Amino acid sequence: MIAWLKGLRGPKRPGFRITKVRLAAQTFFFLLFLFFVIITDLRYLKGYPVSLFLELDPLVGFATAATTGTIYKGLILCLLLLVPTLFLGRFFCNWICPYGTLHQLIGWLFGRKDEVTRIDSNRFRKLQGLKYVFLVMMIVMAFFGSLQIGLLDPICLFHRSMSTAVLPALNEIFPDTFYVKQAYHVGAWAIGFLLLFFVVMNVYVPRFFCRVVCPLGAFLGVASRFSLWRIERDPNTCIDCDACLANCQGACDPHTQLRKSECFVCMECIEDCPVDALSFQFMPNRKHEIAAPPVTGRRVAMASVLGAAGYAMARSAGASDKNFSKKVIRPPGSLKEDEFLERCIKCDQCIRACPTNVLQPTLMEAGLEGIWTPILNMKIGYCELNCTMCGQVCPTGAIQRISIEEKTGMGRHAERGPVKLGTAFYDRGRCLPWAMETPCVVCEEVCPTSPKSIFSREVTITKRDGNPITLRQPYVDPSRCIGCGICEHECPVKDHAAIRVTAIGETRSTERSLLMDGGDPTSVLELVKKKR
C-alpha cells in the first residue's frame, strides 16, 4: 500500500508551495526570538522591542486583563495575532511560535522516519484535550486574581528556559559569549529539565507539548473554531490513503472530519494529498469538520473546580503581606506583592536583563503562587544603584518602569526618597570587628548611598593575648539603607554573610515597614541612644 501510494504521489508538483513560505516564516520568527533573547542585555539593548513576542501573546493579554481588570498598554498588540486567528485559524502555532518551531525541528531531526509510523503517530488522540483542561484551570485562577499562565505558556516558558538554563549553560561552554561574567541561577535545573522533557517527548509523540499541554494553543483553538478560512476535504475525490497524515503537525484528522481547533494550518496535508482532495477554502461546507474543541462540559466543570481549589490553596498557604518571607526581595519598581503576582508572567526576562546576576527565579520562597518569579539573591549579586533594566523589559508592568532619579530619590523625587528594596541587618556573632577581633570595613566602603547608610564607631578592646587593638565596629542607619545588597555580597564572611538584607522596610508595601506601627526608625534610634 505504501509503495503504491508513493508511486501515485510521484515527485512533488512544481510551482508555488505554501509550505516553503511557512518554513521561511518559522525560520524568521525563530531567529528573531533568539535575537531578542540574546540582546536583552545591558551591552546590547538599545531600544529593541525585546518584549514583542510576549506582548503579542493573546493568552498573556487575556489572563492579565482577568487578574487586574485592566489591559496593560503593550498587550494591545495581542490583537495583531488574535484577529487573524478569527480569519485563518490557529496559524500562530505553525507559522510564528518559536517554541513550536523548536519542537517541530526536534521531531524532524530525531523522530521516526518510516511513513507508516508517522501516519499512526499523527492521528488524533483523546489526550489532546488535556491542554483545554490546563487552560480552563489557569483562566479560572486568573479571574480569582492568581496569574499562573506563565507556567506553561509557550512564549513565557521558552523565554524562561533560555534566560535561566540554556544561555548560562552555553556560556559555560563558550565563555564571555552571552554574559560579561558567568551567570548562575538557583533552581535552573528544574527549568532546564522541563524544557528537556518536552523536547525529548517529540521523539515519541510529534509536537507533544503543542498537542497535549500548550494552553496558548488551546486558547487559539477555541478562537479558531470561528475562523472563516479552513481546510476542506472533498469526499468524492478522497481515496482514503491517509497520506495527509504523514506530516500533519496538529494531529487534526484531515482524512475524515477535520478537527478545526487542532489544525495548525501547516498546509502539509494539502501538498501531500496525491489526488488534490484537500484545499484551503473560504467558509466551506462544515459537515466535513468538527469545530468544537475535544473537551466535554464535564471536563470543563472539573477543570474550573480544580482552578478555584488551586487558587484557594495556593493563596492561603502562600506568603502574604502578614506572613511574607524575608528572602522575597523584589526588583526595584515592583508593585505591591499581591499586585505583583497579578501581573508577573514568570517569563524571567528581567533575570536575563540584570547585569549583576542578582535576580533569580524562585522555587518555593514566595509560595506556590510565586514559583519562578524574580527575587534578589545577594550571595550571587547585588542591585546596581544606577540600573533600572528589569523595569525596562517587563512586558506586563509587574515591575514598573522607573527612572534612575526616581530609584535614587534625586531631583523631583527627593522628597519621597529612594526606592527601598529592604533593610540590612548585622549578625554580630559573625561580623569580624564585632566577634573576631579582626579589622574590617568592607561593608562601609562599598555602601553606595550618600551619606552612607553604613557607618562605624571606633572602639579599643583588649585582645585575648592581652594586647589592645582599635576596631571600627559597623552599624546600619535604617533610614538611609535602600537594601541594594552590595554589603552582603561583598562581605568577606562568605558562607553566611555577617550582614544580610531582608524584605522588611521595602517602600512598595506599607505593611512591611520596619516597625509594627510604621513609625520612623530614626526616632527609635534616638530613643535607644537616650536610654544608653
DSSP 334: B
Separation CA 345–CA 435 (nearest Å) = 44
- Asked whether residue 178 carries a pLDDT value surpassing 90, the answer given is no
Separation CA 222–CA 62 (nearest Å) = 13
Separation CA 310–CA 306 (nearest Å) = 6
Residue 509: all three cell numbers together: 508595601
Specify which residues 474 forms β-bridges with. 456
The answer to whether residue 481 is domain-embedded is yes
**What average pLDDT does range 314-323 have in this prediction?**
70
What confidence tens digit (pLDDT) does each residue in 401-439 have?
999 999 999 989 998 999 999 999 999 999 999 999 999
SS (H, E, C) 142-193: HHHCCCCHHHCCHHHHHHHHHHHHHHHHHHHHCCCCCCCCCCCCCCHHHHHH
The torsion of the CA quartet 159, 161, 166, 171, rounded to 10 degrees, works out to 70
pLDDT of residue 532: 43
Per the document, the length of the chain is 532
Closest CA to 196 of 173, 169, 235, 178: 169
Separation CA 41–CA 363 (nearest Å) = 24
pLDDT of residue 4: 37
Q: For residue 8, name the pLDDT band (cuts at 50, 70, 90).
A: very low
pLDDT of residue 320: 63
Strands 499-502 and 423-426: antiparallel
pLDDT of residue 291: 83
Angle between helices 154-161 and 98-110 in degrees, nearest 10: 70
Judge whether 362 and 370 are in contact, CB under 8 Å. Answer: yes
Average pLDDT across the chain, whole number: 89
> Of 274, 290, 306, which marks where a domain is finished?
290
**What average pLDDT does range 323-346 have in this prediction?**
91
The answer to whether residue 503 is domain-embedded is yes
pTM for this model (two decimals): 0.90
State whether 272 and 127 are in the same domain.
yes
Judge whether 127 and 212 are in contact, CB under 8 Å. Answer: yes
Residue 126: all three cell numbers together: 483523546
Angle between helices 18-39 and 98-110 in degrees, nearest 10: 120
Q: Which domain holds residue 81?
A: 2-144+194-215+222-290
Specify which residues 280 forms β-bridges with. 231
Residue 382: all three cell numbers together: 547585588
State whether 425 and 281 are in the same domain.
no
pLDDT of residue 15: 55
The answer to whether residue 46 is domain-embedded is yes
Judge whether 233 and 277 are in contact, CB under 8 Å. Answer: yes
State whether 119 and 268 are in the same domain.
yes
The structural domain count of the chain equals 2
The answer to whether residue 337 is domain-embedded is no
The answer to whether residue 300 is domain-embedded is no
**What average pLDDT does range 141-168 have in this prediction?**
95
The answer to whether residue 334 is domain-embedded is no
The answer to whether residue 431 is domain-embedded is yes
- Asked whether residue 74 carries a pLDDT value surpassing 90, the answer given is no
Separation CA 50–CA 298 (nearest Å) = 40
DSSP 470: E
What confidence tens digit (pLDDT) does each residue in 103-138 have?
999 999 988 778 889 999 999 999 999 999 999 999
Residue 166: all three cell numbers together: 540554556
Alpha helices in 153-294 (DSSP H): 154-161, 167-173, 188-200, 208, 215-224, 268-272
> Of 272, 290, 308, which marks where a domain is finished?
290
- Asked whether residue 318 carries a pLDDT value surpassing 70, the answer given is no
pLDDT of residue 12: 47
Separation CA 407–CA 399 (nearest Å) = 12
State whether 285 and 429 are in the same domain.
no
State whether 124 and 268 are in the same domain.
yes
Residue 362: all three cell numbers together: 524562585
Separation CA 243–CA 269 (nearest Å) = 8
- Asked whether residue 524 carries a pLDDT value surpassing 70, the answer given is no
Q: Which of 11-25, 26-40, 153-167, 388-402 has the lowest mean pLDDT?
A: 11-25
Separation CA 400–CA 393 (nearest Å) = 10
What confidence tens digit (pLDDT) does each residue in 346-371 have?
999 999 999 999 999 998 888 888 99
Separation CA 366–CA 343 (nearest Å) = 15
Judge whether 244 and 234 are in contact, CB under 8 Å. Answer: no
CA distances from 298 to 133, 137, 301, 305, 437 (A): 10, 13, 5, 11, 70
**In degrees, to the nearest 5, what angle opens at C-alpha 270 toward C-alphas 268 and 274?**
110
Looking up residue 477, the CATH number of its domain turns out to be: 3.30.70.20
The answer to whether residue 403 is domain-embedded is no
> Of 259, 290, 321, which marks where a domain is finished?
290
pLDDT of residue 60: 94
